[in-house]
Chains A and B, each alone.
Chain A
């Protein structure tokens, strides 16, 4: 049978979409670029699921694990803590969808979200790395999200993604030694990033010295698509007995977040019934305290910042118990046992 040009054209287009879908839904994968955050997300979810009682969950982008340390906060507040942040590119709606089933009445969710997360647009959110993760591995969560998310998830990868799928799969098959752990550190059993010491980050100092962070405006925060997602979560939480607390991401002391932006973030939380953590230093530190970006403190500063956060959280939550400085564990040491029944091992390098 001779096909007319119109039918041939339509057939080529349909076949293209079908092949693309089959390839990215069932065959191609990015075990290094996406496998790593996926493994982190799953490990942290498993950690949260393993805690039987109430817990503190820190949810953010990479500012969560790099600049906050559950290993430090947990004994200070005497409450099991999970550092659930992974990377700023992971959609908040996806993270909330994954965490909601694990949150129980009495749980506390602390959200020191990066500025970028409030202003991340609808389109950008829809095609984030979680879109590819969902299409390939997590249809269950994809089904729970809005139509625009699964429409975008059907087309999660560009040509670079396809090329990298092949390369990464080949590297994994060849038992490629991922050098990232040596370059940036790894993850502990609380989900904290560890090992990102000042010594390891010495090579980034010149770059950090010249980095000029771009802060977003208060108007952008108010109008942001990410803000709407956060607001939705804040509205959902009280009905389920969840306590939500907002916070600021870390920033350079010489280039802090503008007061108007900070006020806008605080307003988002307060308007939706959440509390907000005000730290004496507004989470701002000298550049020497950072590892490789303005959201990543080095390990010593991470621990110091976590003590401040613990003290402020204690005050905000109205806990009677004072912060227990005697229970602070040294980096790398196991703190006194709390209620966590199982600590999971997790991948130990950051997103490539």
Chain B
């Protein structure tokens, strides 16, 4: 079930909330948790019920392993932890990477397996207290959420099942930590309706929905035109290539951060606070800062459970290996590995540069960071390495520079750098006015991401203004747009 579908918004969500609050009136909160688990499994199975038993089995086995780890000391616990990690990674590897690694026909990928596998590895690691400072808890988690300080493995089955299957984060994150969420799921107020929390959550949900339906899907259509053309062997000219790439950079940001906001809003309605997952990443002034702002919960997971165990700051290759794994986590394809490798390389260069002690002007830092991040989206989005290469050729201007004749006529000096053509076939809808249309839309999109605070930084008044600007367009897209585009991160 998609968060941006009318089935979810008008059916599942109100029924799910009402059921939770009704169950919350029953004794000791178990019914509310049971309802939450049941509703989450319905949500998960709506897409493909075949994989519900896999999710349930994974939850049961990991909870059992967690109890083993928590109940044994030292070495034995670590062995159980190793068993758990191997089991989880084997499951993920079989479904996600068997085709890539062994060249066999890949099995159907269970929805969200990357997310619920990581969640449960965190649970097992936390049960052992085996991770570094960031994961073991030092009082306050990221985003100011209080930690309970107790081992996750002590939890009962129902809170654990609710934590893993909790539908707001089940499909595409945020990757929440057991110690952040389990105490909230056990809290007495979980299933108590709080009008202010519901309103606040609904507001964040609607803003996320607007990001997805109004902005991401619009930029997605612009991006698809260019990238699809490259996939079919077309030679994109400079503006066609850059506009497609800039549109994709906006699409993936609005799509994924919109999803995260919707998840945060949904959880908030149920009195659960999720960490912020995106914090204006394109405003970052270094690649390291970018990763502290982009998919924050994944970055933290990789830092605490991969990078630091691999040696962290003491070993430079740890950075590269972590980012390669990050790329591979996004999908079993070389293009994702290249994307991860590029980011690893950028991070290495950044670290070495910092050692030199040379400081660049802040706007230049921002520009270089943005350029690196945006260019790295080329292999990530392109349909294969050939298409990526064709896109890069277009971006470099190797296929020439063309502009609509109407633009060149209006600004004749452009005739010195661009060939006038009736229209650009791989730009927007390839109509006469597509160039000014895409230009204006990109301008608006980049203004929002570069000049405005993100949703969670907005003051209540500005949130209201933003919602006023976007709500009607959201209604338009939700009920009257002929096509619904799935979230990009569903495939991961």
Contact = CB atoms under 8 A, between A and B. Distances in A.
Interface of A: 4-6, 8-9, 11-13, 15-17, 19-21, 32-33, 121, 123-124, 126-127, 152, 155-160, 162-164, 166-168, 171, 176-180, 183, 203, 352
Q: Which 5 A-B pairs have the closest CB atoms?
A: A20-B472, A5-B199, A16-B471, A155-B476, A6-B199
B466 to A, nearest CB: 9
A163 B196 contact: no
Given A6-B198, A9-B467, A158 B441 contact: no
A20 B467 CA distance: 12
B415 interface: no
B468 interface: yes
B432 A180 contact: yes
Given A159-B218, A164-B437, A9 B475 contact: no
Nearest to B460: A8
A200 B406 CA distance: 18
B431 interface: yes
B477 interface: yes
B281 interface: no
Given A12-B467, A177-B406, 19 more contacts: A5-B195, A5-B199, A5-B203, A9-B199, A9-B202, A13-B468, A16-B468, A16-B469, A121-B482, A123-B482, A127-B482, A155-B476, A160-B441, A163-B441, A163-B444, A167-B440, A171-B433, A171-B436, A180-B432
B215 A159 contact: yes
A164 B433 contact: yes
B437 A155 contact: no
Nearest to A203: B422
A17 B469 CA distance: 9
Nearest to A124: B482
Nearest to B428: A160
A160 B215 contact: no
Given A5-B199, A16-B467, A160 B437 contact: yes
10 contacts: A5-B199, A13-B206, A17-B472, A33-B433, A152-B480, A157-B476, A163-B440, A178-B432, A179-B405, A352-B431
A280 B432 CA distance: 37
B251 to A, nearest CB: 13
A33 to B, nearest CB: 7
A4 B467 contact: no
Nearest to B464: A12
A89 to B, nearest CB: 11
B220 interface: no
Contacts, number: 115
A121 B470 CA distance: 27
Contacts of A352: 431-433
Chain A interface SS verdict (over half):
helix
B202 to A, nearest CB: 6
Interface of B: 195-196, 198-200, 202-203, 206, 214-215, 218, 405-406, 409, 422, 431-433, 436-437, 440-441, 444, 460, 464-465, 467-473, 475-477, 479-482
Nearest to A167: B436
A11 B464 CA distance: 9
> Which of B196, B433, B441 counts the most A-chain CB atoms under 10 A from its CB?
B433
A17 B475 contact: yes
B438 to A, nearest CB: 9
A159 to B, nearest CB: 5
B244 to A, nearest CB: 16
B437 A16 contact: no
Contacts of A4: 195-196, 199
Contacts of B200: 5
Contacts of B468: 12-13, 15-16, 19
B28 to A, nearest CB: 29
B464 A160 contact: no
Contact of A158 (B433, B471, B476): B476
Nearest to A183: B422
Contacts of A155: 472, 475-476, 479-480
A7 B433 CA distance: 41
Contacts of B405: 179
Contacts of B198: 6
Nearest to A131: B480
B481 A127 contact: yes
A167 B214 CA distance: 19
B480 A127 contact: yes
A12 B464 CA distance: 6
Contacts of B467: 9, 12-13, 16
A33 B431 CA distance: 10
A158 B218 contact: yes
Nearest to B405: A179
A163 B444 CA distance: 9
> Which of B198, B202, B471, B477 counts the most A-chain CB atoms under 10 A from its CB?
B471
Contacts of A15: 468
> Which of A20, A32, A177 counts the most B-chain CB atoms under 10 A from its CB?
A20
A8 B465 CA distance: 10
Contacts of A167: 433, 436-437, 440
Nearest to A184: B422
A129 to B, nearest CB: 13
